[in-house]
Structure 1
Amino acid sequence: MGLVISRPADAGRAFADAWNRHDMDDFASLFCENANFVNVVGMWWKNRSEIEAAHRATHETMFRDSQLEGVVSSVVELSPGVASVHYVWTLTGASAPDGSSAGPRKGILLLIVKEQQSGWLIKVAQNTDIVPGAIAPSSR
Protein backbone atom coordinates (compact mmCIF):
# COMPACT_ATOMS: atom_id res chain seq x y z
CA MET A 1 0.00 0.00 0.00
CA GLY A 2 1.46 3.34 -1.08
CA LEU A 3 4.78 4.81 -0.13
CA VAL A 4 7.10 3.46 2.56
CA ILE A 5 9.12 5.63 4.92
CA SER A 6 12.21 3.56 5.71
CA ARG A 7 13.69 5.96 8.28
CA PRO A 8 12.41 9.10 10.02
CA ALA A 9 14.55 11.47 7.92
CA ASP A 10 12.66 10.27 4.81
CA ALA A 11 9.25 11.41 6.10
CA GLY A 12 9.45 14.97 4.72
CA ARG A 13 10.67 13.77 1.31
CA ALA A 14 7.88 11.18 1.10
CA PHE A 15 5.28 13.81 2.10
CA ALA A 16 6.54 16.20 -0.61
CA ASP A 17 6.80 13.43 -3.21
CA ALA A 18 3.16 12.39 -2.82
CA TRP A 19 2.11 16.07 -2.67
CA ASN A 20 3.97 16.95 -5.88
CA ARG A 21 2.42 14.01 -7.74
CA HIS A 22 -0.97 15.00 -6.28
CA ASP A 23 -1.44 11.33 -5.42
CA MET A 24 -3.67 11.43 -2.38
CA ASP A 25 -3.79 7.63 -2.09
CA ASP A 26 0.00 7.59 -1.62
CA PHE A 27 -0.23 10.70 0.56
CA ALA A 28 -2.77 9.07 2.89
CA SER A 29 -0.69 5.88 3.07
CA LEU A 30 2.03 7.84 4.90
CA PHE A 31 -0.25 8.31 7.94
CA CYS A 32 -1.33 6.02 10.77
CA GLU A 33 -5.03 5.20 10.68
CA ASN A 34 -5.60 7.34 13.81
CA ALA A 35 -3.17 10.13 12.87
CA ASN A 36 -3.81 13.79 13.73
CA PHE A 37 -2.99 16.67 11.39
CA VAL A 38 -3.34 20.40 12.13
CA ASN A 39 -2.86 22.53 9.03
CA VAL A 40 -1.54 26.09 8.70
CA VAL A 41 -4.94 27.69 9.39
CA GLY A 42 -5.80 25.49 12.36
CA MET A 43 -8.03 22.89 10.72
CA TRP A 44 -7.64 19.68 12.72
CA TRP A 45 -8.17 16.29 11.10
CA LYS A 46 -8.26 13.33 13.47
CA ASN A 47 -7.76 10.25 11.29
CA ARG A 48 -6.31 9.11 7.96
CA SER A 49 -9.68 9.35 6.19
CA GLU A 50 -10.20 12.99 7.21
CA ILE A 51 -6.60 13.85 6.25
CA GLU A 52 -7.01 12.20 2.85
CA ALA A 53 -10.41 13.79 2.12
CA ALA A 54 -9.24 17.29 3.01
CA HIS A 55 -6.07 17.03 0.94
CA ARG A 56 -7.88 15.38 -1.99
CA ALA A 57 -10.31 18.33 -2.11
CA THR A 58 -7.57 20.96 -2.07
CA HIS A 59 -5.44 19.09 -4.63
CA GLU A 60 -8.40 19.18 -7.00
CA THR A 61 -8.58 22.97 -6.57
CA MET A 62 -6.11 25.41 -4.99
CA PHE A 63 -3.14 23.00 -4.84
CA ARG A 64 -3.77 21.32 -8.22
CA ASP A 65 -0.60 22.79 -9.79
CA SER A 66 1.40 23.29 -6.60
CA GLN A 67 4.90 22.01 -5.90
CA LEU A 68 6.36 21.51 -2.44
CA GLU A 69 10.14 21.65 -2.01
CA GLY A 70 12.03 21.53 1.22
CA VAL A 71 14.67 20.14 3.49
CA VAL A 72 14.64 18.12 6.68
CA SER A 73 16.20 20.45 9.24
CA SER A 74 15.83 18.32 12.36
CA VAL A 75 15.30 14.69 13.33
CA VAL A 76 15.02 13.91 17.04
CA GLU A 77 14.49 10.46 18.50
CA LEU A 78 11.81 10.91 21.18
CA SER A 79 11.86 7.29 22.33
CA PRO A 80 12.66 4.00 20.62
CA GLY A 81 10.47 3.83 17.51
CA VAL A 82 9.21 7.43 17.77
CA ALA A 83 10.85 10.51 16.27
CA SER A 84 10.10 14.12 15.40
CA VAL A 85 10.98 15.52 12.00
CA HIS A 86 11.00 19.23 11.07
CA TYR A 87 10.66 19.82 7.33
CA VAL A 88 11.20 23.42 6.17
CA TRP A 89 9.27 23.93 2.96
CA THR A 90 8.49 26.32 0.12
CA LEU A 91 5.21 25.97 -1.77
CA THR A 92 4.80 27.37 -5.29
CA GLY A 93 2.05 27.10 -7.88
CA ALA A 94 -0.92 27.36 -5.50
CA SER A 95 -4.01 29.31 -6.54
CA ALA A 96 -5.94 31.99 -4.67
CA PRO A 97 -9.74 31.63 -4.36
CA ASP A 98 -10.23 33.77 -7.49
CA GLY A 99 -7.93 31.47 -9.51
CA SER A 100 -4.98 33.85 -9.60
CA SER A 101 -1.54 32.85 -8.34
CA ALA A 102 -1.30 32.73 -4.56
CA GLY A 103 2.45 33.38 -4.76
CA PRO A 104 5.11 31.41 -2.93
CA ARG A 105 4.71 30.40 0.71
CA LYS A 106 7.19 29.11 3.24
CA GLY A 107 6.61 27.07 6.34
CA ILE A 108 7.70 24.40 8.76
CA LEU A 109 6.04 20.99 8.95
CA LEU A 110 6.49 19.01 12.17
CA LEU A 111 5.95 15.28 11.74
CA ILE A 112 5.91 12.81 14.61
CA VAL A 113 6.63 9.43 13.08
CA LYS A 114 6.17 6.00 14.61
CA GLU A 115 7.91 2.80 13.56
CA GLN A 116 5.61 0.04 12.34
CA GLN A 117 6.41 -3.41 10.89
CA SER A 118 6.04 -2.01 7.37
CA GLY A 119 8.17 1.09 8.00
CA TRP A 120 7.57 4.46 9.64
CA LEU A 121 4.18 6.20 9.57
CA ILE A 122 3.17 9.73 10.45
CA LYS A 123 1.24 9.77 13.73
CA VAL A 124 1.01 13.58 14.17
CA ALA A 125 1.52 16.45 11.73
CA GLN A 126 1.52 20.17 12.56
CA ASN A 127 2.04 22.62 9.71
CA THR A 128 2.94 26.27 10.25
CA ASP A 129 3.29 29.12 7.77
CA ILE A 130 6.35 31.31 8.17
CA VAL A 131 4.92 34.81 8.19
CA PRO A 132 6.87 37.17 5.91
CA GLY A 133 8.64 39.82 7.95
CA ALA A 134 8.36 37.91 11.22
CA ILE A 135 11.46 38.20 13.35
CA ALA A 136 12.68 34.98 14.88
CA PRO A 137 13.54 35.23 18.61
CA SER A 138 17.21 34.53 17.85
CA SER A 139 17.24 37.49 15.43
CA ARG A 140 16.21 40.11 17.99
Structure 2
Amino acid sequence: MSATLDSPETIPQLFVEAWNRRDARQIAALFDPDGEFVNVTGLWWHRREDIERAHDYGLRTIFNNSTLTLTRTKTKYLANHIAVVHAKVKLTGQTPTSEVPNPGARHTIFTFVVHKLSDGWSCAAAQNTDIVPAMETHIRDEKNQLHAVDYRRSTQ
Protein backbone atom coordinates (compact mmCIF):
# COMPACT_ATOMS: atom_id res chain seq x y z
CA MET A 1 0.00 0.00 0.00
CA SER A 2 1.25 3.45 -0.84
CA ALA A 3 0.00 5.11 2.34
CA THR A 4 -0.12 4.18 5.98
CA LEU A 5 -3.28 3.84 8.01
CA ASP A 6 -2.54 7.02 9.96
CA SER A 7 -6.00 8.59 9.67
CA PRO A 8 -9.58 7.43 9.09
CA GLU A 9 -9.52 8.94 5.58
CA THR A 10 -6.78 6.54 4.52
CA ILE A 11 -9.25 3.63 4.65
CA PRO A 12 -11.26 4.71 1.56
CA GLN A 13 -8.10 5.95 -0.16
CA LEU A 14 -6.38 2.58 0.24
CA PHE A 15 -9.59 0.71 -0.64
CA VAL A 16 -9.72 2.57 -3.99
CA GLU A 17 -6.00 1.99 -4.66
CA ALA A 18 -6.31 -1.74 -3.92
CA TRP A 19 -9.48 -1.99 -6.07
CA ASN A 20 -7.71 -0.40 -9.04
CA ARG A 21 -4.84 -2.91 -8.65
CA ARG A 22 -7.41 -5.79 -8.38
CA ASP A 23 -5.94 -6.62 -4.98
CA ALA A 24 -8.71 -8.24 -2.94
CA ARG A 25 -6.23 -9.27 -0.24
CA GLN A 26 -5.28 -5.64 0.42
CA ILE A 27 -8.95 -4.61 0.45
CA ALA A 28 -9.64 -7.26 3.08
CA ALA A 29 -6.55 -6.24 5.07
CA LEU A 30 -8.22 -2.90 5.76
CA PHE A 31 -10.83 -4.75 7.86
CA ASP A 32 -10.80 -6.29 11.31
CA PRO A 33 -10.61 -10.12 11.31
CA ASP A 34 -14.33 -10.13 12.15
CA GLY A 35 -15.10 -7.17 9.85
CA GLU A 36 -18.46 -6.72 8.18
CA PHE A 37 -19.15 -5.59 4.58
CA VAL A 38 -22.49 -4.98 2.87
CA ASN A 39 -22.40 -4.43 -0.88
CA VAL A 40 -24.78 -2.36 -3.04
CA THR A 41 -27.26 -5.22 -3.47
CA GLY A 42 -27.30 -6.13 0.21
CA LEU A 43 -24.93 -9.10 0.12
CA TRP A 44 -23.37 -9.24 3.58
CA TRP A 45 -19.96 -10.70 4.41
CA HIS A 46 -18.96 -11.30 8.03
CA ARG A 47 -15.21 -11.95 8.17
CA ARG A 48 -12.04 -10.68 6.54
CA GLU A 49 -11.72 -13.96 4.60
CA ASP A 50 -15.26 -13.61 3.25
CA ILE A 51 -14.61 -9.98 2.27
CA GLU A 52 -11.47 -11.05 0.41
CA ARG A 53 -13.19 -13.97 -1.34
CA ALA A 54 -16.13 -11.83 -2.47
CA HIS A 55 -13.93 -9.01 -3.73
CA ASP A 56 -11.59 -11.43 -5.48
CA TYR A 57 -14.56 -12.87 -7.39
CA GLY A 58 -15.97 -9.43 -8.16
CA LEU A 59 -12.65 -7.99 -9.30
CA ARG A 60 -12.06 -10.95 -11.64
CA THR A 61 -15.61 -11.24 -13.01
CA ILE A 62 -17.79 -8.16 -12.57
CA PHE A 63 -15.23 -5.36 -12.27
CA ASN A 64 -12.16 -6.77 -14.07
CA ASN A 65 -11.65 -3.60 -16.17
CA SER A 66 -13.16 -1.10 -13.76
CA THR A 67 -11.72 1.98 -12.16
CA LEU A 68 -12.80 3.50 -8.85
CA THR A 69 -12.23 7.21 -8.34
CA LEU A 70 -12.55 8.74 -4.89
CA THR A 71 -14.37 12.06 -5.29
CA ARG A 72 -15.12 13.11 -1.70
CA THR A 73 -14.67 12.01 1.88
CA LYS A 74 -16.23 13.26 5.09
CA THR A 75 -15.22 12.06 8.53
CA LYS A 76 -17.22 12.25 11.73
CA TYR A 77 -15.35 11.35 14.89
CA LEU A 78 -17.47 9.55 17.48
CA ALA A 79 -14.48 9.49 19.86
CA ASN A 80 -10.74 10.07 19.43
CA HIS A 81 -10.35 6.45 18.34
CA ILE A 82 -13.66 5.83 16.49
CA ALA A 83 -14.94 7.49 13.33
CA VAL A 84 -17.44 7.14 10.53
CA VAL A 85 -16.04 7.94 7.10
CA HIS A 86 -18.35 8.54 4.15
CA ALA A 87 -16.65 8.27 0.79
CA LYS A 88 -18.24 9.15 -2.53
CA VAL A 89 -16.76 7.19 -5.42
CA LYS A 90 -17.23 6.90 -9.16
CA LEU A 91 -17.07 3.47 -10.80
CA THR A 92 -16.35 3.13 -14.52
CA GLY A 93 -15.55 0.15 -16.72
CA GLN A 94 -17.89 -2.42 -15.17
CA THR A 95 -17.96 -5.69 -17.14
CA PRO A 96 -20.68 -5.65 -19.84
CA THR A 97 -23.49 -8.19 -19.92
CA SER A 98 -25.74 -9.28 -22.78
CA GLU A 99 -28.48 -7.06 -21.32
CA VAL A 100 -26.16 -4.06 -20.82
CA PRO A 101 -23.39 -4.13 -23.45
CA ASN A 102 -22.05 -0.65 -22.53
CA PRO A 103 -22.33 -0.09 -18.77
CA GLY A 104 -22.29 3.56 -17.75
CA ALA A 105 -20.58 5.14 -14.78
CA ARG A 106 -22.02 4.50 -11.34
CA HIS A 107 -21.68 6.67 -8.27
CA THR A 108 -21.83 5.19 -4.79
CA ILE A 109 -21.30 6.20 -1.19
CA PHE A 110 -19.30 3.95 1.08
CA THR A 111 -19.82 4.19 4.82
CA PHE A 112 -16.80 2.98 6.76
CA VAL A 113 -16.93 2.53 10.56
CA VAL A 114 -13.29 2.69 11.65
CA HIS A 115 -11.33 2.57 14.87
CA LYS A 116 -7.77 3.24 15.88
CA LEU A 117 -5.50 0.38 16.87
CA SER A 118 -1.93 0.59 18.16
CA ASP A 119 -0.55 0.38 14.60
CA GLY A 120 -3.12 2.51 12.73
CA TRP A 121 -6.76 2.60 11.74
CA SER A 122 -8.86 -0.45 10.89
CA CYS A 123 -12.34 -0.89 9.46
CA ALA A 124 -14.92 -2.66 11.62
CA ALA A 125 -17.73 -2.42 9.06
CA ALA A 126 -18.51 -0.92 5.66
CA GLN A 127 -21.53 -0.54 3.44
CA ASN A 128 -21.64 0.54 -0.19
CA THR A 129 -24.80 2.26 -1.47
CA ASP A 130 -25.62 3.10 -5.09
CA ILE A 131 -26.62 6.70 -5.71
CA VAL A 132 -29.77 6.78 -7.82
CA PRO A 133 -30.19 10.40 -8.97
CA ALA A 134 -33.60 12.04 -8.51
CA MET A 135 -35.08 8.99 -6.78
CA GLU A 136 -36.30 8.58 -3.21
CA THR A 137 -36.61 4.84 -2.66
CA HIS A 138 -37.17 1.48 -4.31
CA ILE A 139 -40.44 -0.34 -4.88
CA ARG A 140 -40.97 -4.00 -5.75
CA ASP A 141 -43.49 -4.84 -8.48
CA GLU A 142 -45.70 -7.90 -8.90
CA LYS A 143 -42.89 -9.65 -10.85
CA ASN A 144 -40.56 -9.21 -7.86
CA GLN A 145 -38.44 -6.59 -9.69
CA LEU A 146 -37.07 -3.55 -7.86
CA HIS A 147 -37.60 -0.10 -9.38
CA ALA A 148 -36.23 3.24 -8.24
CA VAL A 149 -39.12 5.63 -7.66
CA ASP A 150 -39.74 9.24 -6.77
CA TYR A 151 -42.99 9.77 -4.88
CA ARG A 152 -42.78 13.50 -5.55
CA ARG A 153 -43.79 12.74 -9.13
CA SER A 154 -47.35 11.55 -9.27
CA THR A 155 -47.87 8.24 -11.09
CA GLN A 156 -51.64 8.57 -11.09
TM-score by length of 2: 0.80
SS of residue in 1 equivalent to 2:135: coil
Percent of aligned pairs sharing the same letter: 36
- Please name the residue that 1:30 is paired with: 30
Tell me, yes or no, if the aligned pair for 2:37 and 2:125 is still in contact at 8 Å. Answer: yes
Cα distance in 1 between the residues matched to 2:73 and 2:59: 26
Deviation at 1:101, TM superposition (A): 3.1
Aligned to 2:50: 50
- The alpha carbon displacement at 1:2 in A equals 9.4
Cα root mean square deviation, aligned: 2.2
CA distance in 1, matches of 2:44, 2:58: 15
* SS across alignment from 1:53: helix
How far apart are 1:3 and its partner, in Å?
6.7
**TM-score of the aligned structures, taking structure 1 as reference length:** 0.88
The Cα shift of 1:28 comes to 1.2
Letter in 2 for 1:132: P
Q: Which of 1 and 2 has higher RCO (CA within 8 Å, sep 6+)? A: 1
Q: Deviations over 1:75-131 (max 9, x none)?
A: 011123110000011100011333833211001000011111221111110110001
Equivalences, count: 137
Amino acid at match of 1:35: G
1:11: Cα distance to partner? Answer: 1.5
Tell me what 1:91 maps to. 91
Q: 1:44 to 1:91 in 2, by over 3 A?
A: same
